Amino acid sequence: MEEALVVTLDNETVRFTPDGRVSVIDAIRAVSNSNRPWEIWERLKTQQPEILIHCEDYSFLTGVSAPVVDSEGLEKILVVMQDYLLDPNLP
């Protein structure tokens, strides 16, 4: 297994697969500064299920599968998150 790339953005770790896909949860955590990125992800998947076309599970070195997304999917997530982050009910 090739080693994943890890980048730190504003003290948040963001993992990338060897082929450039990004951990959805890491990206949401870094962009939203939320300590509940899984809740945000669940809400985004429910509201915008077409995002899942760009996602798949990937096992990082921890052995636990995590959702990863390609660049097109990440762009869609970030656009949707702009509206979400303006929501006063953000967890």
31-72 confidence digits (pLDDT tens):
888 888 998 899 889 988 999 999 999 998 777 889 999 999
What total of structural domains would you count in the chain?
A: 1
Asked whether residue 12 is domain-assigned, the answer is yes
Give residue 22's pLDDT band: very low, low, confident or very high (50, 70, 90): very high
Asked whether residue 21 is domain-assigned, the answer is yes
> Domain range holding 56?
5-85
Terminal alpha carbon distance of the chain: 35
Q: Can you say how many angstroms the Cα of residue 63 is from the centroid of all Cα atoms in its chain?
A: 18
Which tokens sit at 60?
A: 């990082």
- Whole-prediction pTM value? 0.81
For the residues of 24-72, what is the DSSP string, one character each?
HHHHHHHHH--S-HHHHHHHHHHH-GGGGGGEEEEE-TTS-EEEEE-HH
Average pLDDT over all residues of the chain = 84
Instruction: Judge contact between 78 and 40, C-beta under 8 A.
Output: no
Asked whether residue 90 is domain-assigned, the answer is no
Give residue 12's pLDDT band: very low, low, confident or very high (50, 70, 90): confident
Asked whether residue 36 is domain-assigned, the answer is yes
